[in-house]
A and B are shown apart, each in its own frame.
Chain A
Amino acid sequence: MKRRSLLWLTTLVLVLSMFLAACGGDKKTATNTKNNNEDKKGSEQADSGPQDGGTLTYAMESEFKGLLNVNFYDSSSDAEIIGLFDDTLIDYDENLKPQPNIADWKTDDNKVYTFTFQKGVKWQNGEELKVQDWQFALETIAKIGPEHPRWTNVNTIEGATAFNEGKADHISGVEVVDDYTIKITFDKARVNNLENLWTYPLSRKEFEGMDPKKMAESEQVRTKPVGLGPYKVTKVIPGESVELTRFDDYWKGKPHIEKIIVKVIDGSLTVGELQNGGVDMTAFHPTLLPEIEKLDNVRVEKVPGLSYYYIGFKLGHFDGKKNVMDLPKYQNKKLRQAMLYAINRDEWVKAFFSGLGSPINRPVPTSHWIAADNKDLPNDYKYDPEKAKQLLDEAGYKDVDGDGFREDPDGKKFVVNFAHYDTGNPTYEARAKAMTQYWEEVGLKSKLTMTDVNLYYDQLEKDDPSIEVFYGGWGTGADPDPLPLWGKEAVWNYPRWVNDDSEKLLKDAVDISVVGTDQEKRKQLYVDWQKLFNEEVPALPIAELYDVYAVSKRVQDVKYDVSGSNSPAEWWIKQ
């Protein structure tokens, strides 16, 4: 028996160490469950106003890059963190129209804007925000020039190009009147000058004297960022978590929650972490909805998103400068319309997006102020296979050889070559396959190709002949202008659709000499454009999606709309 003592000792040490670790972990869960129980009690009590204190854990699925300054970030996960500790000069309301925040503005002609800043707004390093900080931001970007992803938001200011080329000491269009007033002159009057302008300041104290090209690498951006918002960053563990602490001098008043911890977690952990209270707030993928709805300590917030999916047809190619529509296969409008009528979009959205979306008939998300009402559009493409068949018959696509599939008007075999991107997500192939089945049901032989997502967009952009019909999605920002997506000279116009009426409508809508400063007039032109698109369907609008967020019930006063959440300063935790 003695022989075994060594073995037993080892086992004992192992088991003991596991229990020790277990005890450490247990404490944490215990407090979590306690909180949950208190929530339930709390929600039954009457509201007695916001309470201060507490720690909120905010999770994100994709790793943040760590460019924690609004002037340098380029990923949405960095933007989520920046949103917690920084504030903006201009806000956007639920119709995505600009609203004054720190700055208010005036303009008579859409060329010269006068901005007035609130007084007493503090940076988190104690400095007061002045208009020179904004001037500094604009000049930093302009100094870097086309290499900076925000250059297009600055180069419309008068004199920005000259400043970039070193011909001037300052941007001539940016004129500081006093510490709280600044005048910005654009190179020409445009309808969307304000929406396009870069309206974020950069702290001069933090970055004074630094080479603009080195700023993104500096610790002021990566680990010790300074913002204007309700929380300040106190610690960053790159790629893993960020700790934010309440900023008592926040210009809108002291926030309620003591600390916010931002954590990166794998998507597969979301449900479990929400359930055991390890995470209080997170955005999640629609496929998780059924599981998250079952949790009783979490509520789900749904808001209309700004993205839409479509199925495009390659109608031509991009010759380097403009789109040329020269591919004959899908030129017949009735064929394209029939393919849209053939798809049961309601069923499809329900099956593959947990119902978190709705079919659309125009390439503009409903929450945009330029979106046309459904009843104003010539066609409502409700699922109607009979209508699809009838349209195909009219267009001359008939089954000549009796194999059950239609031939083209010349009697040749017709196959819809449908391409979809592949990211390794198994539901993508299923949802693409469903599309081809809808088409086969109305007699169109279809073939599906799944292509790696990076190669896919490369092929799309370069008009690779292997792609004929393709699935795609666009996200739009605050500026609703569809010209960069559907214009004649737009490289992003993947279907290569060229239409003179469309071009005229889109160009008129941003032409100040046509619409002036009248937004209604501008909207009418966009509605007319959507009517045209709806009739021509160079791409089949499929669905717009909702953005979904899970919020623990102990966190109060969190509101979401299309422009994101309300200010974290308003959130509070029920103690």
Chain B
Amino acid sequence: MLKYTLRRLLGMIPMLFLISIVVFTLAKLMPGDSLSGEIDPNNTDPTYIAEMREQLGYNDPVYKQYFRWINDFAHGDFGKSVRYKIPASDIILERLPNTVFLGITSILITYICAFAMGTFAGRKPYTIGDHFIGGANYLGLALPSFVAGVFAIYIFAFYLGWFPSNGSVDISVPEGTLGWWASRFHHVLLPALVLGLLSTANYTQFLRNDIIENSRKDFVRTARAKGTPERKIYNQHIMRNSIIPLITFLGFDIVAIVGGAIITETIFTYPGIGQLFLSSVTTRDYSVLMTLTMMFSFLTLFGNLVADILYGIVDPRIRMD
């Protein structure tokens, strides 16, 4: 297992290198640069812009720019944000805790809801309850997060006034106190619900189908024949088997959360890396943009690795060496 993990980790290096070339090329293909597009002649004197372009190295040949970037990147220097004038890593680290907090909350919501609904639907397939859950799931699958987000804000924040519509914390609460944590949780819950409930559908349907399938297997029939109580059959025999494949989803979740956060965070004006990513695209903040894209690519590779390893752990039939 260790050997396998190491091999996979090493295999990620050339992959990341290729991705970096693609990321860099795409970033360079984007029209304009962070200094063009300004329309206020009083603030941006042409000589200032020319000077800054030269200084930022926008006038160097492309390959030179690439090697400078990748070299700095490998040394942990992600460049200075053109927009915020501070190192890109500082900005990302400033926002990362918010996204992690949102991600964990939404994963918890996903798991709790999916577990509850999936078990219910799996035990009582083809009943009204099952169809209702199925219907809700397909709605969740079909509904894009930006539509769900806007509706959630309208209903829960504006109409009912249960949740705040924006921000990550109430600024007037002193940091670190219980009230501060409560305020953070209060702010994160609505975006986390939108993000979490929408990805519940996959889990629910997977769990339901797996439970139904398992309940028809021989070992269940044997257990029934032996007179094992129905509750024990479901809670122990079937559940143990059905939950295993779900664990492997966790790897992919890491990726899905970040992807979903880009839109959700923007709608809820929740300052995490998703919102940062979108604003760095529109403001051509290359250093932040490229660092985040590399980070997302790495997360995708890493998520896949986690999924594969988890698979090996929970299912001993799959041997990896």
Contact = CB atoms under 8 A, between A and B. Distances in A.
A231 to B, nearest CB: 14
B268 interface: yes
B166 A21 contact: no
A25 B116 contact: no
A149 B112 contact: no
A152 B37 contact: no
A459 B282 CA distance: 18
Contacts of B189: 21
A67 B85 contact: yes
Contacts of B46: 491-492
Interface stretch (B69-77, B151-159, B211-219, B308-316): B151-159
Nearest to B168: A240
A479 interface: yes
A358 interface: no
B63 interface: no
B186 to A, nearest CB: 5
A29 B161 contact: yes
Contact of A21 (B31, B162, B268, B279): B162
B161 A26 contact: yes
Contact of A240 (B48, B167, B231): B167
Interface residues of A, number: 71
Nearest to A240: B271
A46 interface: no
A237 interface: yes
A404 interface: no
A238 B85 CA distance: 13
Interface string A27-46: 01100000000000000000
B44 to A, nearest CB: 7
B32 interface: yes
Interface string A484-511: 1100000110000000000000000000
B112 A457 contact: no
A63 interface: yes
B51 interface: yes
Contacts of A67: 84-85
A516 interface: no
A437 to B, nearest CB: 26
B31 A269 contact: no
Contacts of B276: 239
Contact of A264 (B52, B160, B269): B269
Contacts, number: 171
A66 interface: yes
B39 interface: yes
Given A25-B161, A149-B48, A268-B150, A259 B172 contact: yes
Interface in B164-222: 164-169, 171-172, 182, 185-186, 189
Interface in B220-239: 230-231, 234
Interface string A441-458: 000000000001111111
Interface stretch (A117-125, A366-374, A386-394, A470-478): A470-478
B113 interface: yes
Contacts of B165: 265, 269, 272-273, 278
B28 interface: no
Nearest to A264: B269
Contacts of B39: 457, 472-475
Contacts of B284: 454
A263 B167 contact: yes
Given A261-B172, A477-B40, A146 B166 contact: no
Contacts of B171: 235, 237, 240-243, 261
Contact of B166 (A151, A237, A266): A266
B66 interface: no
Interface stretch (A7-15, A100-108, A181-189, A349-357): A7-15
B161 A266 contact: no
14 contacts: A63-B279, A65-B85, A67-B85, A147-B51, A152-B45, A152-B47, A238-B271, A239-B94, A240-B271, A272-B158, A276-B161, A453-B37, A458-B36, A472-B39
Given A72-B85, A475-B39, A492-B46, 9 more contacts: A3-B123, A3-B230, A7-B119, A22-B160, A240-B171, A265-B167, A455-B31, A477-B40, A484-B42
Interface of A: 2-4, 6-7, 10-11, 14, 18, 21-22, 24-26, 28-29, 55, 63, 65-67, 72, 74, 146-147, 149, 151-152, 216-217, 222, 235, 237-243, 259, 261, 263-266, 268-269, 272-273, 275-276, 278, 452-458, 461, 472-477, 479, 484-485, 491-492
Interface of B: 30-33, 36-48, 51-52, 55, 83-86, 91, 94-95, 112-113, 115-116, 119-120, 123, 150, 153-154, 157-158, 160-169, 171-172, 182, 185-186, 189, 230-231, 234, 266-269, 271, 275-276, 279, 284
